[in-house]
């Protein structure tokens, strides 16, 4: 059964300032200091919920309530909703509530910010910051604790989400502590954060803005007459056929035989069998691996040179099979949220998802492997979408 994999990263991200590219480190610091990052880290939290009668809940970070550089914006925002006197009373109450929680350490905030900004293209992160998007990061497995009642009922089981329509929010769930020491490499929660963030940031980048910043359409779909853009729909089907062809070719050059050899080696490692049998099984596996790689080169499967797995101890065949199935799933994701009785609407939803999952696949498998499987969608995302984001940034900076 095909599924989306959240525990894979093409390369381990940087966590220290010295290891970060300078521009990305500047964005990470900005994300922390602008107070727009809300973190729910189990027993620690850096924001409070502010219910508004008859309206969607809003949230304020600890910094937005106590940092003098940000408090005027907080007061002005609440004044718009409640009036000046009620706003001051609400701020007093929110500060009391915020002090009840254990603060998220600054070191944790900046490390999470670094992970987040490494999940997407520089321009996509710059756009989020310029538009004042709120970033919600939860250590829980779903985003249910970050939503108001209405959202909880419809989207509480989601692992990530981005909101539009004047409410700029991105929600990411980690399913654990992304910064915890882990026997697994990468830390599964760290990988999950970056994979989900990549997809949700891409959804935001997919929005086409007018010169004044208003959202007028998507690159993936028409919003007024909700249907997929022809070029994206065509690209998705083309990439689906291409990925299916790759899978067929991989099995023709004995992928199944390599996987079987690897399973034998793994089984022998886990059970008490003779050293001779272990050595022979290992010899057969390595021999089969060499044949498989050679056959891939002869068959045009160049992606084989860009597989990220432990070269000495990892199982190449298993990794290739996961890669192929993961690529196929994300071109045609299965979930009740993507189903619709109107097949034109359903196609639009799937195209929106498929295009947003291109950078997610890059985070997991790298640019070269992703482009090999998704040549059409890759060019649309890193061409049309990112070019559009760049133009939007220029409009903001030079109106």
Spatial separation of the C-alpha atoms in residues 189 and 235, rounded to whole Å = 32
What percentage of the chain has pLDDT greater than the value 90?
80
Q: Are residues 212 and 235 in the same domain?
A: no
Residue 12 belongs to a domain = no
Backbone angles phi, psi at 57, to 5 degrees: -55, 145
Residue 87 belongs to a domain = yes
What percentage of the chain has pLDDT greater than the value 70?
92
Q: Are residues 232 and 200 in the same domain?
A: no
Residue 209 belongs to a domain = yes
Predicted local distance difference test score (pLDDT) of residue 33: 96
Q: pLDDT averaged over the chain? A: 91
3 state SS of 83: coil
Question: What pTM was computed for the model?
Answer: 0.90
Structure tokens at 291: 């044949």
Q: Are residues 310 and 295 in the same domain?
A: yes
pLDDT higher than threshold 60 for residue 259: yes
Spatial separation of the C-alpha atoms in residues 208 and 166, rounded to whole Å = 14
> Could you say which of 221, 255, 283 is where a domain stops?
221
Structure tokens at 109: 């905030």
Residue 157 belongs to a domain = yes
Q: Are residues 57 and 96 in the same domain?
A: yes
**293-308, pLDDT tens digit by residue?**
999 999 999 999 999 8
**351-390, pLDDT tens digit by residue?**
999 999 999 999 999 999 999 999 999 999 999 999 999 9
Length of the chain in residues, anyone? 399
Judge contact between 200 and 160, C-beta under 8 A: yes
Residue 6 belongs to a domain = no
Predicted local distance difference test score (pLDDT) of residue 146: 53
Q: 40 pairs with which residues across the strands?
A: 45, 138
Q: Are residues 204 and 159 in the same domain?
A: yes
Q: Are residues 184 and 258 in the same domain?
A: no
Residue 11 belongs to a domain = no
Q: Are residues 205 and 240 in the same domain?
A: no
Structure tokens at 174: 């980690």
Predicted local distance difference test score (pLDDT) of residue 313: 66
**262-287, pLDDT tens digit by residue?**
999 999 999 989 999 999 999 999 99
- CB atoms under 10 Å from CB of 331, counted, come to 27
- Domain boundaries, position 260: 226-397
pLDDT higher than threshold 80 for residue 399: no
Of 58-72, 131-145, 163-177, 207-221, the one with minimum mean pLDDT is 163-177
**Total domains in the fold of the chain:** 2
Q: Are residues 113 and 231 in the same domain?
A: no
Q: Are residues 123 and 272 in the same domain?
A: no
Spatial separation of the C-alpha atoms in residues 330 and 360, rounded to whole Å = 9
3 state SS of 264: helix
Q: Where are the alpha helices (DSSP H) in the chain?
A: 22-33, 62-66, 71-82, 84-100, 106-117, 122-130, 149-155, 188-205, 230-252, 255-270, 275-298, 316-331, 343-365, 367-373, 375-379, 386-397
Predicted local distance difference test score (pLDDT) of residue 349: 95
> Could you say which of 198, 221, 244 is where a domain stops?
221
Q: Are residues 52 and 181 in the same domain?
A: yes
Residue 10 belongs to a domain = no
Range 74-80 contact pairs with CB under 8 angstroms and sequence separation of 24 or more: 78/50
Q: Are residues 69 and 193 in the same domain?
A: yes
* DSSP assignment of 129-156: HHTT-EEEEESSSSSGGGS-HHHHHHHT
Spatial separation of the C-alpha atoms in residues 366 and 370, rounded to whole Å = 6
> Could you say which of 221, 243, 278 is where a domain stops?
221
Q: 337 pairs with which residues across the strands?
A: none
Residue 3 belongs to a domain = no
Q: Are residues 70 and 216 in the same domain?
A: yes
């Amino acid at each position: 059964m095909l599924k989306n994999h959240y525990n894979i990263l093409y390369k381990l991200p940087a966590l220290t300032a010295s290891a970060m590219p300078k521009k990305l480190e500047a964005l990470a610091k900005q994300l922390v200091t602008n107070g727009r990052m809300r973190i729910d880290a189990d027993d620690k939290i850096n924001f409070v919920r502010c219910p508004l009668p008859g309206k969607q809940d809003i949230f304020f970070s600890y910094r937005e309530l106590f940092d003098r550089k940000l408090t005027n914006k907080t007061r002005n925002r609440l004044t718009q909703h409640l009036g000046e006197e009620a706003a001051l009373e609400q701020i007093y109450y929110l500060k009391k509530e915020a002090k009840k929680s254990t603060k998220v350490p600054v070191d944790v905030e900046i490390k999470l910010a670094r992970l987040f900004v490494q999940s997407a293209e520089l321009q996509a992160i710059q756009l989020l910051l310029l538009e004042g998007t709120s970033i919600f990061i939860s250590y829980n497995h779903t985003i249910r604790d970050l939503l108001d009642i209405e959202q909880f009922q419809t989207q509480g089981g989601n692992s990530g989400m981005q909101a539009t329509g004047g409410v700029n929010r991105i929600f990411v769930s980690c399913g654990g502590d992304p910064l915890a020491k882990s026997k697994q490499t990468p830390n599964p929660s760290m990988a999950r954060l970056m994979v989900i963030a990549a997809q949700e940031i891409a959804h935001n980048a997919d929005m086409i803005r007018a010169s004044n910043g208003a959202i007028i359409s998507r690159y993936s779909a028409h919003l007024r007459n909700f249907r997929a853009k022809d070029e994206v729909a065509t690209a998705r089907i083309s990439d689906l056929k291409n990925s299916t062809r790759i899978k067929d070719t991989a099995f023709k050059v004995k992928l199944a035989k390599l996987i079987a050899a690897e399973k034998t080696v793994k089984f022998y490692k886990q059970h008490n069998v003779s050293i001779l049998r272990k050595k022979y099984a290992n010899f057969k596996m390595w021999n089969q691996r060499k044949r498989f790689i050679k056959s891939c080169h002869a068959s045009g499967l160049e992606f084989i040179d860009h597989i990220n797995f432990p070269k000495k101890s990892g199982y190449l065949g298993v990794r290739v099979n996961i890669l192929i199935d993961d690529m196929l799933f994300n071109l045609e994701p299965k979930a009740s949220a993507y189903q619709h009785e109107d097949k034109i609407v359903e196609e639009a939803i799937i195209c929106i998802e498929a295009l947003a999952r291109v950078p997610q696949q890059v985070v997991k498998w790298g640019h070269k492997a992703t482009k090999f499987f998704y040549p059409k969608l890759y060019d649309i995302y890193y061409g049309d979408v990112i070019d559009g984001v760049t133009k939007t940034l220029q409009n903001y900076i030079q109106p």
